[in-house]
Each structure stands twice: as C-alpha cells, then as structure tokens.
Structure 1
Amino acid sequence: MTLFTDDQKQLQEMIRPFFAEEGAIKPQLRHWRDTGCKDGFGHELWKQMAGLGLTGLAIREADGGLGLGAVEAGLVLEEIGRNLSPSPFLTTAVAAVRALEGSAQAARWFPGILAGDTVAALAVDEGRNHDPAGTALKAERSGNGFSLSGTKQFVVHGASADLILVAARTAGSPGERDGITLFAVERDAAGLEVENVVLADASQAARLTLANVAVDGDAVVGEVDGGWTPLSRALDAGRAGAAAELVGVAAGASALTFDYLRQRKQFGKLIGEYQVLQHRAAHLYGEIEIARAAAMKAAELIDRTDPRAELMVAVAKAKAGNVARLAVQEGVQMHGGIGMTDEHDIGLYMKRDAVLGELFGDARFHRARVAELSGY
C-alpha cells in the first residue's frame, strides 16, 4: 500500500473530528438505540454527511459525485467504526453505488443518495450463511417485466431503504453464478413484505418476503442473467469497506482499553505497568496495523481494477474480522467487571463486531475464498 496522497490526508483530517463529535456514541448509537428508532440511525447525520460530500464520495464526477474510490471510502469507514457511528454509508454510498454505476438506474437513484435523502439496501442472502451464488429467489418473465417471488434474510437497513437491490434467479440453479439478475425494487412495491429485526448492536436488518412483486424491464441492473457482474462489484466494495470499518472498531476498542490501562490502579500500581498486559497490548497494536494495511491494500487494488483485488478483499475481510474480535475480547477482559456493563462503551464495540463480522461473509467464508482463489 502506498502512502496516502495529500488529498486523502485532507479527507482524513476533515472526517476524523466530524465523526468524533457528530457521530460519537452518546448522541448517535446510544440515543437511537434507547429511543427505539426503527431505522437505527439518524437521518440528520446522513444529511450532514451529504453536506460534506460523503454520500457521493464513490459516485463519478459526471454523475455529480466526488469521483473518489475505495481507499477514500475506507478512510471514512474506519472513522465510522472507531466511533460506532450508525449510518447507511456502507450499504448505500459504497455497495449500492458500485452496483448501480454505469446502469440506467443510476440516474434514478444517485440524486437522492447525493442529497442524503435516499437509503439503499442489498438483498442477497436467503439462508443462515452468506452465499450469493446460492440465490434461489425466482424472477419470471411477466409481460414487459418480471415477477419476483421468494425470501431474503439479513437485509441491513431493509426496512429503511427507499431502494432494495434484489439478487434473483432468472436462469440456472442455486449454486451457479450464471443466471442471477440484479433488480432495483422500490420499498413500496406491491407484494413486498418487510419484517424489521433489531440486531445485537442495535442496528436494523430485515427479512423480506416477495410475493409476485412486479417490476418492469428497466428495473434490471446490468444484464438479464448477468447480474453477477454488478453484484460481485458491489459485494467486493462492501467487503473491503466492512474490513476498513472493522479496523476502526478494533482501533476504537483498543483506544478505550489502552486508556483504561493507563488510569486503572490495582494494589497501588497502574495495571498498565504489568508486563503481561503490556505484551497483550503490544500484540493487539501490531495486529491492528496488519489488518489496516490489508484493508487499504484491498481498496487500492479495487481502485486500480487489479485482477488480484478479489483475493486481497477476501484476505482483508478475514483478517480484519479476526483482529476486531481479538480487540473487543481483549478490551472486555482487560476492563474486568466494568467491561460487562452496558454503562461502559467497550461492550458496544463487541456487539458491533459480532454483526459487522458476519456482513458480506464472515472470516470462515473468506478464508475459504482465499483457498479457492489460490487454487486449492
């Protein structure tokens, strides 16, 4: 990974204080959780992010966006993870934008995303585990369009979304990449039933049931039977972004932990002076730096359209997931009993890791992808 450019450093300097203040845990995560918000995030913060140009960060300049890439998105997501800032940035401004770019649907949805008025969701999985190729939801020809029938699980922001990108099967059998088509479905479509579910970290996902949902031919994103191309583009961008956010979760949790080690006294001595805890802290710091390098390298390869990007994305998501899990576990353990209370923020990082680690495939899924892509 090369050093950040001056523009990337300026972006980082702008967003770090913004998320530390406006996106901090108390005014955002705890507030929306404790008020039982059905969205799980604040639309005002989403509008503020639009005002900074962040919602259009990955949208091409010709379409009104900033025309930046996965590296810049990763910088934003690391700060989101560090502060546990709830927002639809990953699903909307990263994954959905990458799916829609170059399609006829871009003109329909990008203005709303740019303005911070539109939220998008990606409906891919149908079972317990992440398995895009296992898509079984049917899309059958009906007049000039299609009729969609089936179910989807773990659709993050599904109940809040104005746009739901639905992977459906127009040909072939579950397990095959060919024959999948990606559809842009509006949330008020007749026959679409949405069951909202509160996740462990207080974010919201949905179970979708589609019963003969009618869409016209213009709802196809990309080509009929060729949806794997925009879908994989969206998933890899989402996975690289999730890896960066997991690095932020790990960094935020470790910052709380290291600060606690410098303040907490036991038997008249700061616990950070005990060598065994110093060794654990040093090991954790090194692991976070490795995960950050992997996440940024994956983003860089995506931006260069390097054929190795798919492999590095899998490496980054697996590594970041493992490191975030280490960081939150070490954090709770080193905090002792207080780490198990809701009053302390360290437990919130553990909950976010539990959800984010599963999104777009967990560490086990991506280790298997690394083996597959390496020829094993």
Structure 2
Amino acid sequence: MALALTDDERMIRDSAEGFFAEHAPVSELRRLRDSKDPTGFDRELWAKMAELGFAGVAIPQAHGGAGLGMVAAGLIQEAIGRNLSLSPFFSTGILAATLVSRGGSDEQKAALLPKMAAAQMIVALAADEKPRHTPAHIATRAEPSGNGFRLSGVKPFVLDGQVADRLIVAARTSGSEREESGITLFLVDPKAKGVTVEPRSMVDCRNVARVTLEGVELDGADVLGTVGEGLALLEAALDAGRACLAAEMLGIADRAFALTLAYLKTREQFGRPIGSFQALQHRAAHLFCEIELAKSVTLKALRALDEADARAPVFASLAKAKVGEVAKLATNESIQMHGGIGMTDDADIGFYMKRARAAAETFGDFAFHGDRIARLMRY
C-alpha cells in the first residue's frame, strides 16, 4: 500500500488538527504549568475528545469505540504533538485500549472499554521499573495467595498514574528478573489497600506517578490475559505506543520547523530577513528532507500494526528510533536558528524541545530500538 493518507484519514487528521489548535494549544500547556494543576490536563477537554470519538478511536465498535485503528490514533497523536496538548489519550486511548482489547476477558472488556471510550475512566500502564526501558526486567512479584495473588513492588514511571482509575501492572509470577517468561498483567485499583501513588512532574510539564505496591491482594478475575504469558501482550501494546509516540514526535518536529520558517522570514539582520542567508537555507532544506522521511516511516509503522503485519515490531522500533532523532534535530536546529530568544520562556520552541526529549526516551531511545531491530532481524 502506498505511504499516503486516504481521504477518510485526511479528514481525521484535519479534524484533530483543528480541534487541538482551538481547544488545547501551547497556551493551555502554559496555563496548566503555571497553575501547577495537580490533574495535569483539562477534564473538559478529555470529555470533548470522547464526544468526537477520539478517546475511543482504538477501541472496537462493539465496546463503544470508533474502531478506527492505529493510523487514526497516530494522526490524533500527531496533532497532540503539534500543539503539545495534554490529555490521557496516550495512556488510556492507546496503551490501555490495546491491552484490554487484546487481552481482556469478555467481562473485563464490558466493564472497562465503554467507560474508557466515553472518557469516564482513565487506565494507566505500570510496567517499567528501571531508569532505562527494559520491558522484560520486572522485579515486582505476584505471589499466590488464596484464590488469587499478593502483589509487591515499585513502578517509578507510570504515565497518568496520578489520576488513574485503574492500573495495569506487569508483575512476575515466576522466573528471575530478566526472564521473558513468567510475566503476568493485572488490573489494580489504585485505591486498594497497599497501593501508594506519588505524583511526579517531568521536564516537559507532564505528570507521572511513582506507584508502590505492598501486599496488594488480587483475585483471579484481576488477571489480564494469561498467567505467565503477559510479555507478548505487553509488547503489542508497547509497539502501538511506540508508533504513536513516533507520530507525536513527528508533529513536534513539523511544528518546530514551521515556527522556525516563520521566524526566518520575519527576523531581520543586516537589513534583510535571516531566511535569505544561504547557510540557514541549507539547514532548513536538510531538516525538511528529514521530516519527510519521518512521515513515511511513521505511517508505515502504523499501517503495519493495523494490517497485523508480522514485521510490525520492526517498523515500530524503526519509527521510534528514526523520528526520535528527527525530532531532536528539528528542535535543536529551531533553537539555534531562533538564537537567544529561543532559550527564553517567551518563545514556544523550548516547550517543543523538552517534549521531544521526553518522548524520545519513553519506551526506548535510539540505542534501545537499534538493538531491538538487530535482535528481531536475527543479526
């Protein structure tokens, strides 16, 4: 299939871009930051996203969602990146939606998915435990207890964990810390006895949480998927997240480039616009080419996920690695070509640089995904 959007996909893209530009621009990010809002996003915005079908875009229609798949989700995430809009779309609408849709029982799907699609429930993934992304490195233990399990461990980086109504926790039911087998996913109520949620703030003004689990009692109905075989389900959700993070970073790079072009056309030096200087034109042309490559690899990854292509994990890692580097280049060049004003809080470009750095590290940086591609391709 050609790496181009269909008419329906262009409609989704245009709708998302218009919505976030109007309702959640960078000025809204500034407002939430300056007010030190503990929620980290506007709940009314999240409700409006549900009304438009955005919140449930990756949730099957049978469970109240739009069922439009990962390309549509990626287009929404790209618009979010372009405007630096804050919402639980990534944690709930992509990661949790994928996990519950793929691994949930009929009862779990009926209980969770309609509420997630209606923006009535926020579900957060609690997986990573180490400073660097290593999905199989799980030390949190789930010991047998009665008819269920007793959960203990620490998850230091849980996106939207501070406002989650449910947590999906990766824990080890067997094996040692680094083994790929023996990992199980559990649905956990953050208000349950033994669960402590501590809010944290990241450099890009987004909130995460440190979640501590101390002897949390669960029963068999809280298991998501199959006991001991949770890594494959977790990786499927992470690949969806990686491809959509690539889409978000594409939006960041594209918007940073647009801001820079506008600045080059208006900022004058020596009596002429600085955009007329050949050295800056060459740098801008190089960046344009890199962004076009990023668009292609991102769309390929999203399409591969929708088509259940066996190579989808490779494309997801390729997109995450490539677009992370492009977003870094775009924001670095934008700061450089803005000059001193780009280093101040008055200019929006600094917000894009911070978000690009955080997104590039989330769920694996360039080095992680380069190594993963080599392993997947059996090098």
Shared fold (TM-score, shorter chain, > 0.5): yes
Query: Is the partner of 1:134 in helix, strand or coil?
Result: coil
Query: Residue 173 of structure 1: CA displacement?
Result: 1.3
Amino acid at match of 2:42: G
Contact 2:3 2:299 in 1 (8 A): no
Map of 1:314 onto structure 2: 317
| TM-score, normalising length: structure 2 | 0.97
Deviations, residues 268-294 of structure 1 (Å, cap 9, x unaligned):
010000011001011111111111111
Counterpart Cα distance in 1 of 2:313 and 2:21? 32
Task: Tell me what 1:153 maps to.
Answer: 156
Q: Say whether the 8 Å CA contact 1:99–1:231 is kept in structure 2.
A: yes
- Contact 1:221–1:230 (8 Å) recurs in 2: no
Cα RMSD for the two superposed structures: 1.0
> Which residue does 1:5 correspond to in 2?
6
CA-CA distance at 1:2 after TM superposition: 3.5
> Within the alignment, does 1:24 sit opposite 2:25 as a pair?
yes
Tell me the secondary structure at the aligned position of residue 223 of structure 1: coil
Distance in 2 of aligned mates of 1:30 and 1:216: 43
2:92 corresponds to which residue?
Answer: 92
Contact kept, 8 Å, 1:8 with 1:72, in 2: the verdict is yes
Unaligned runs of at least 5 residues, structure 1? none
Instruction: Specify the code of the residue in structure 1 equivalent to 2:136.
Output: A
Q: 3-state SS of the aligned residue for 1:197? A: strand
Letter in 2 for 1:20: A
What is the aligned partner in structure 2 of residue 132 from structure 1?
Answer: 135
Answer yes or no: is 1:185 the counterpart of 2:188. yes
Percentage of matched positions with identical amino acids: 49
Shift of 1:370: 1.2
Aligned equivalents of 1:244 and 1:68: distance in 2?
Answer: 16
Tell me the residue number matched to 2:260: 257
CA offsets 1:255-310 (integer angstroms, 9 cap, x no match): 11111001100110100000110010111111111111111100100111111100
- 1:10-159 map, 5 Å: 10-26=11-27, 28-102=28-102, 103-104=104-105, 105-159=108-162
* 1:271 is aligned to 2:274: yes
| 3-state SS of 1:214 partner | strand
How far off is 1:121 after superposition? 1.1
Compute the displacement of 1:39 (Å).
2.0
Instruction: Tell me, in whole angstroms, the C-alpha distance in 2 between the residues paired with 1:111 and 1:69.
Output: 16
**Is the 2:143–2:151 contact (alpha carbons within 8 Å) kept by the matching residues of 1?**
yes
The alpha carbon displacement at 1:215 in A equals 1.4
1:195-217 alpha-carbon deviations (Å, 9 max, x no partner): 11110011001111100011111
1:87 is paired with a residue whose SS is: coil
Provide Cα deviations, 1:175-230, integer angstroms capped at 9, x if missing partner.
21110000111121110111111100110011111000111111111000011122
Letter paired with 2:133: H
User: Contact (CA 8 Å) 2:256, 2:334: kept in 1 or not?
Assistant: yes
Deviation at 1:160, TM superposition (A): 1.0
Tell me the amino acid that sits aligned with residue 8 of structure 1.
E
Task: Give the 4+ runs in structure 1 shifted more than 3 A.
Answer: none
| Contact 2:181/2:231, CA 8 A, preserved across alignment | yes
SS at match of 2:55: coil
Q: Does structure 1 residue 217 correspond to structure 2 residue 220?
A: yes
Shift of 1:367: 1.0
Conserved? CA contact 2:3–2:296, under 8 Å: no
User: Helix, strand or coil: the match of 1:357?
Assistant: helix
Q: Secondary structure at the match of 2:283?
A: helix
- Give 5+ residue unaligned stretches, structure 2: none
Find the aligned partners of 2:117 and 2:126 in 1 and give their Cα distance: 22
TM-score by length of 1: 0.98
Kindly tell me the number of residue pairs found equivalent between the two proteins: 375
